């Protein structure tokens, strides 16, 4: 059962690689494949919601030897929204006229396959393999641009993220060295009885690797040129889907495998998160082009995820998950909208901007509120003021972006009506989940009890 | 043995980072190759301790780390090929591989 989404992605990407992606129907085939993966993941969600944990050990090996794939609340809670975002982006790209390159559709399916694998694997090294599958495809996607500056930024993106992958690989080696296993729950159990205290060194390496992927403050330098210069659909895919590896990895390795190390690094996480929010917001205010404002804004927004992890506990983990999902949907919407013109686009951008600033009834309010409550119930009340300050700054730069984008230029050719309707529907979905956030909150609370234990 | 491996990893990793700080994109690519292989060396050396937990005197090597390194070598190889093809595209677009030259504002 758990093989189904991966098998669909695997077969579809092999087929798509052989086809010419510039033909319209090949782009639609890629969309069908991603929708198939989404449907299979929703079926798995059903199983998980019924209290089962679908799992399989690859190759028929006995438990503890082979690579284990399993769907738990954390994995499925990421897989379903992320596949949904990719499907929405693919739909809009197809309506816009399809792909301009031969391997474009295959690469998008490969990114989805890699992400799904990352979310379902219970093996630390297998995590690395799937992770590199999606990263490698994303490198190629950014390099597909028609202009020299696109390939230039893809080299930056590739070199910095290879460094992140190397840090991750070293920490997987360290985890294996310390525990003698690669299975995450088994490693967590062995680390739990470690007489030498929390595995701070390995934990720090994991942290550095995922912070680099997320583009958090000391490692944020690569994000603005890459998100700002690459083509808009690619930027939407990177910030809406791929960046989730960072927050997922922090929750999985920090929350599940090394909770003691996460607890030991609380102060560091809070300090880095707070600094990231301040620096990202300040730089976003000082920028003019919309793509650059959005790039700096995604740096700032990821800082909140770090704050939530630093707060920790049930409320903190739930807030980290909810915030990550809200932010992905908002960023995917904003980047797609920034690449379109005409009526309804302004309204969609406004919903995305309200979501980033955390204003009700947009989706972002749910994330901000979860974080706010976690901070209020926790020991560090100063965070509450920081979160409100960050939201005010976000309001300021998003309003500037809106002005820049929709008040200054009205003479451009409009996007096709079908594209505009699709984007408007995307924005309405973001609004609906803002008004009716129960699915998101429910998944967040399930993930929190998975990671932090205790009753629901 | 452990000290020799640790020193080896440190030297390769340090040399890789030094190359990545260079403005020349070919040197940056060479740096990523060195850094990736430092990680592979590290994993090879990580296999020695997991064994020591089970037996006092290790007589066989850990096959799992070798499988891991084999996998990550293949990934490194693929990425290196992709990186060099991107460098080739950059050279065709800009006529140079000096990142200072490329990023100079017009």
How close B1 comes to chain A (CA, Å)?
Answer: 16
The answer to whether residues A292 and A228 touch, using CB atoms and an 8 Å cutoff, is yes
Residue among B46, B58, B70, B87 with most chain A CBs within 10 A, to mutate: B46
| Span B52-81, average pLDDT | 80
Single out the residue of B99, B96, B83, B95 nearest to residue B32, CA to CA: B83
The verdict on a CB contact (< 8 Å) between A129 and B75 is yes
Predicted confidence at residue A408, as pLDDT, reads 66
Q: Cβ B39–A143 below 8 Å, yes or no?
A: no
- Percentage, residues of chain B above pLDDT 90: 52
Phi, psi of A231 (to 5 degrees): -65, 150
Q: What is the mean pLDDT of residues A326-342?
A: 89
E strand or H helix at A252: none
**In the predicted model, is pLDDT for residue A20 greater than 50?**
yes
Q: How far is CA A215 from CA A75, A227, A285, B48, in A?
A: 22, 11, 18, 34
Using left for φ > 0, alpha for ψ between -120 and 50, and beta otherwise, residue A344 falls in left
A125 touches chain B (CB under 8 A): yes
What average pLDDT does this structure show over B41-68?
70
On the question of pLDDT at A147 being above 90, the answer is no
The pLDDT > 70 percentage for chain A reads 96
The full length of chain B comes to 106
Asked whether residue A452 carries a pLDDT value surpassing 80, the answer given is no
Would you place residue B16 in the very low, low, confident or very high pLDDT band (cuts 50, 70, 90)? very high
CB proximity A166 to B under 8 Å: yes
Are A68 and A1 a contacting pair, CB within 8 Å? Answer: no
Average pLDDT (A404-433) is: 82
- CB count within 10 Å of CB A22 equals 15
CB contact under 8 Å between A173 and B50, yes or no, is no
Query: For A196-222, what is each residue's pLDDT tens digit?
Result: 666 788 889 999 999 998 888 888 889
Element (H, E) at A103: none
Rounded distance between C-alpha atoms, residue A438 and residue A68, angstroms: 31
3-state secondary structure of A196: coil
Mean pLDDT for A393-409 is 83
Q: Identify the band that residue A454 occupies on the pLDDT scale cut at 50, 70 and 90.
A: very low
Residue A65 is encoded by which pair of tokens? Answer: 């030897």
Q: Which residue matches tokens 């975002």?
A: A85
- Cβ A158–B102 below 8 Å, yes or no? no
Q: Is the pLDDT of residue A321 over 60?
A: yes
Q: List Cβ neighbours of A358 (8 Å cut-off, separation of 6 or more).
A: A364, A365, A367, A368, A369, A391, A394
Q: How far apart are CA A118 and CA A231, in angstroms?
A: 25
DSSP H or E run through A231: none
Measured in whole angstroms, how far is the alpha carbon of residue A278 from the centre of its chain?
A: 21
Measured CA angle at A256 (ends A251, A257), to 5 deg: 110
Q: What is the mean pLDDT of residues A255-270?
A: 88
Find which of B18, B23, B24, B75 to mutate to test the A interface (most A CBs within 10 Å of its CB). B75
Contacts of A152 in chain B (CB under 8 A): 90, 93-94, 102-103
**Mean pLDDT over the full length of chain A:** 89
Q: What is the DSSP string of A350-388?
A: HHHHHHHHT-TTSTHHHHHHHHHHHHHHSS-THHHHHHH
Instruction: Measure B58 CA to nearest chain A CA, in Å.
Output: 15
Kindly determine whether residue A169 and residue B94, on different chains, have CB atoms separated by under 8 Å.
Answer: no
Chain centre distance of CA A297? 14
The reply to whether ipTM tops 0.95 is no
Q: Where are the beta strands (DSSP E) in A9-163?
A: 55-57, 68-70
How far is residue B52's CA from residue B19's CA, in Å, rounded to a whole number?
Answer: 35
- Residues in B closer than 8 angstroms to A148, CB to CB, are 90, 93-94
Q: How many C-alpha atoms does B77 have within 13 Å on its Cβ side?
A: 6
Confidence grade of residue B50 (pLDDT, cut at 50, 70, 90): very low
Mean pLDDT for A275-298 is: 90
Contacts of A281 (CB under 8 A, 6+ apart): A296, A297, A300, A390, A393, A394, A397
Mean pLDDT (whole number) for A384-400: 90
CA distances from B33 to A159, A166, A338, B27 (A): 10, 10, 37, 10
Find which of B89, B91, B94 to mutate to test the A interface (most A CBs within 10 Å of its CB). Answer: B89
Location of structure tokens 């769907």: A71
Cβ proximity of A58 and A121 under 8 Å: no
Q: Average pLDDT for residues A252-264, to the nearest whole number?
A: 88
Whether A402 has a pLDDT exceeding 60, the answer reads yes
The predicted structure's pLDDT at residue A32: 96
Polymer length in residues for chain A: 456
Higher pLDDT, A33 or B62: A33
Chain-centroid distance, C-alpha A398: 20
pLDDT at position A81: 95
Confirm if B33 and B87 have CB atoms less than 8 A apart: no
Handedness of CA B19, B22, B25, B27 (dihedral sign): negative
Nearest-Cα residue of chain A relative to residue B95: A148
Euclidean distance between CA atoms A3 and A8, whole angstroms? 9
Tell whether A163 is within 8 A of chain B (Cβ): yes
pLDDT at A340 over 80: yes
Distances B74 to A138, A170, A176, A334, B20 between C-alpha atoms, Å: 18, 16, 20, 37, 21
CB contact under 8 A, B87 and A177: no
pLDDT confidence tier of residue B52, bands split at 50, 70 and 90: very low
pLDDT in the model for residue A146: 67
Q: What distance in Å separates residue A9's CA from the closest CA in chain B? A: 19
Provide the 3-class DSSP secondary structure of residue A21.
Answer: coil
Question: Percent of chain A, pLDDT > 90?
Answer: 46
- ∠ CA A434-A435-A438, nearest 5°, is 85
Q: Are A300 and A276 in contact (CB under 8 A)?
A: yes
Q: How far is A249 from chain B (nearest CA, A)?
A: 19
CA distance A230 to chain B (A): 14
Rg, Å, chain A Cα set: 21
Q: CB distance B39–A170 less than 8 Å?
A: yes
Closest CA to A290 of A218, A362, A345: A345
- Smallest CA–CA distance, residue A166 to chain B, in Å, is 6
User: How confident is the model at residue A196, as a pLDDT?
Assistant: 67
Q: A148: how many CB neighbours lie within 10 A of its CB?
A: 15
CB contact under 8 A, A139 and B35: no
Contact state of B86 with A151 under an 8 Å Cβ cutoff:
yes
Rounded average pLDDT over B84-98: 88
Structure tokens at A13: 């990407």
Would an 8 Å CB–CB cutoff place A58 in contact with chain B? no
Residue of A nearest to B16 (CA): A163
Determine the Cα–Cα distance for residues A355 and A295; give it in Å rounded to an integer.
16
- Nearest chain B Cα distance for residue A382, angstroms: 38
């Amino acid at each position: 059962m758990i093989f189904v989404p991966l098998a669909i992605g695997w077969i579809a990407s092999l087929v798509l690689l052989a086809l010419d992606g510039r033909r319209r129907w090949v782009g639609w085939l890629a969309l069908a494949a991603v929708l198939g993966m989404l449907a299979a993941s929703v079926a798995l969600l059903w199983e998980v919601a019924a209290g089962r944990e679908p799992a399989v050990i690859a190759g028929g090996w006995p438990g503890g030897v082979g690579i284990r794939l399993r769907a738990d609340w954390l994995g499925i809670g990421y897989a379903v929204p992320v596949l949904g975002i990719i499907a929405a982006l693919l739909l809009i790209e197809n309506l816009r006229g399809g792909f301009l390159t031969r391997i474009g559709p295959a690469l998008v399916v490969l990114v989805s396959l890699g992400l799904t694998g990352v979310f379902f694997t219970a093996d630390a090294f297998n995590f690395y393999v799937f992770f590199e599958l999606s990263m490698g495809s994303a490198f190629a996607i950014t390099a597909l641009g028609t202009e020299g500056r696109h390939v230039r930024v893809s080299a930056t993106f590739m070199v910095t993220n290879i460094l992140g992958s190397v840090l991750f690989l070293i920490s997987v080696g360290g985890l294996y060295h310390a525990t003698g296993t690669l299975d995450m729950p088994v490693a967590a159990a062995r680390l739990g009885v470690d007489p030498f205290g929390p595995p701070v060194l390995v934990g720090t390496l994991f942290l550095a690797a995922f912070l680099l992927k997320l583009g958090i403050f000391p490692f944020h330098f690569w994000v603005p040129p890459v998100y700002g210069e690459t083509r808009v659909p690619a930027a939407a895919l990177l910030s809406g889907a791929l960046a989730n590896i960072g927050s997922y990895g922090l929750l999985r390795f920090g929350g599940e495998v090394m909770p003691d190390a996460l607890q030991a690094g609380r102060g560091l996480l809070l300090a880095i998160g707070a600094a990231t929010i301040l620096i990202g917001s300040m730089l976003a205010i000082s920028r003019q082009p919309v793509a650059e404002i959005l790039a700096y804004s995604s740096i700032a927004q990821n800082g909140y995820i770090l704050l939530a992890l630093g707060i920790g506990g049930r409320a903190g983990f739930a807030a980290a998950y909810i915030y990550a999902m809200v932010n992905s949907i908002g960023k995917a919407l904003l980047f797609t909208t920034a690449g379109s013109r005409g009526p309804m686009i302004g309204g969609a951008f406004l919903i995305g901007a309200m979501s980033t600033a955390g204003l009700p009834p947009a989706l972002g309010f749910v994330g901000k509120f979860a974080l706010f409550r976690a901070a209020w119930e926790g020991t560090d009340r100063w965070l509450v003021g920081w979160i409100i300050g960050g939201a005010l700054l976000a309001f300021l730069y998003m309003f500037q972006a809106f002005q820049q984008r929709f008040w200054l230029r009205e003479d451009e050719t409009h996007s096709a009506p079908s594209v505009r309707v699709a984007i408007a529907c995307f924005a309405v979905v973001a609004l609906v989940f803002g008004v009716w956030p129960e699915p998101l909150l429910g998944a967040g609370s399930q993930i929190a009890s998975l990671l932090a234990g205790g009753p629901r | 043995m452990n000290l020799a491996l640790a020193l080896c990893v440190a030297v390769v990793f340090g040399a890789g980072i030094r190359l990545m700080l260079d403005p020349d994109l070919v040197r940056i690519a060479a740096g990523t190759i060195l850094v990736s292989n430092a990680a592979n060396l590290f994993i090879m050396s990580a296999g020695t301790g997991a064994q020591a937990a089970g037996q006092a005197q290790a007589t066989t090597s850990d096959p799992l780390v070798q499988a891991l390194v084999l996998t990550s070598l293949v990934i490194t190889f693929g990425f290196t090929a992709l990186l060099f093809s991107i460098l080739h595209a950059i050279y065709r677009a800009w006529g140079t591989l000096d990142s200072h030259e490329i990023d100079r504002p017009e």
